[in-house]
Amino acid sequence: MGKLIEELMKMGYSFQEGNPLLTLPVNGSSVQVNELRVQSPEGQIILLKRDMTPMLFPGDTDGEPHNDATGEDGIRTTCGAVYQDYYKLDEEATSLLLYNHSLRTHKYLVQERQRIGLTSIKEGAPESFFVLDEFNVGMGVGLIETGRYADGRFVAQSANQSLYEDADVLRMHFDHLPDQRDVEDALIIRKMERDFKLGRHRETFTCTDCQQTRHWLDIPGTIQEKLALRMMRKCGCTTQKK
C-alpha cells in the first residue's frame, strides 16, 4: 500500500478485497488484483470501479472539522488511483487493469484523441443544438450531425433515426468543429478502446503474409490504415516492399 491508502486509512476508511480480477506483472513479479471495496468511517461500503471515475473521500485534511461533512474537505482522487496505490502498480500494470491494453496502446490512443481534439464520447438521450454540418460516416453509425452549444463546446451526434424520441444516440465532444475525418477517427478510437476492453481483439497478432508476430502499432500509417490492415491480420510488410 502507498501514501494515498495510508492517508485514507488515517481518516478512518478501510478496504476489503473481493473477487479476483487479474494477475499482473509488476517489477518482475506477479500481483493478484482483486475487487476493492472501501468502507467509510460511518460504515457505508462502496465497490470501486476499474476506471478513472472521480472519487471524493470526505474527511478532515485541513484541521477544520466544520466542513468535513459538507464535501468541501476530503481527498479527491479516482478509482483507478486507489487501485494503483493499494496494489503498488506501475503504469504498465495500471493500464492493463483499467483498459485491458498496454501502456503503449493507451498512450497512442490518448495522442490520437488529442490530435483530433476529441474530449469525450458518450451514449445517451439526444441533445438539441442547431446543426452546422452533417455527413454519413457509415461504420454502423450512419448520419452524423455537428454543431456547437451555447457554452462554446463543439458536438458531433448520430442522428436519431429511432421511432422513439428518447432513444440513445452516440455523442462526441470536440475542441473545434469536427469534419468527417475527425469523426471517423473518433469512431475508430472508440472501437479500439471497446474491443480491447472487452477482449474482442489482442494487441499482437500473426501476420498472414510474413507469419511474424506483430503489434498493431507496428503497422505503418494512420489509425485508419492500421485498423484496416489489422482487421485483415496483415502488418503491412508486403506494402512496404513495393
| pLDDT per residue as tens digits for the range 42-74 | 999 999 999 999 999 998 776 777 666 666 778
Please tell me whether residue 119 adopts helix, strand or coil conformation: strand
218 in any annotated domain: yes
My answer on whether 187 and 207 are in the same domain is no
Into how many domains does the chain fold?
3
Please report which confidence band the pLDDT of residue 225 belongs to, taking 50, 70 and 90 as the band edges.
very high
**pLDDT at residue 97, rounded to an integer:** 96
Of 175, 169, 138, 135, which is closest to residue 154 (Cα–Cα)? 175
| Residue 238 pLDDT class (50, 70, 90 cuts) | confident
Q: What is the pLDDT of residue 140?
A: 83
Q: What is the pLDDT of residue 163?
A: 44
At residue 164 the predicted structure's pLDDT band, cuts being 50, 70 and 90, is low
Based on the fold, state whether residues 57 and 83 are members of the same structural domain.
yes
CA distance 216 to 137: 23
Residue 124 lies in a domain: yes
Which class for 185: exposed (0-12), middle (13-18), buried (19 or more C-beta within 10 A)? buried
Q: Give the domain-ending residue among 44, 66, 99.
A: 99
pLDDT computed for residue 91 by the predictor:
96
Q: How far is CA 204 from CA 51, 56, 195, in A?
A: 23, 38, 13
The residue that leads in pLDDT, 239 or 134, is 134
> Does position 168 have pLDDT exceeding 60, yes or no?
yes
Residue 104 lies in a domain: no
Do 173 and 213 fall within a single domain?
no
3-state DSSP assignment of residue 164: coil
Contact at 8 Å (CB) between 52 and 78?
yes
Whether residues 168 and 217 fall in one domain: no
CA-CA distance, 99 to 194, in Å (whole number)?
Answer: 9
Q: Is residue 107 part of a domain?
A: no
What range defines the domain where residue 236 resides?
A: 202-242
Q: What is the pTM for the complete model shown?
A: 0.86
pLDDT tens profile 39-48: 999 999 999 9
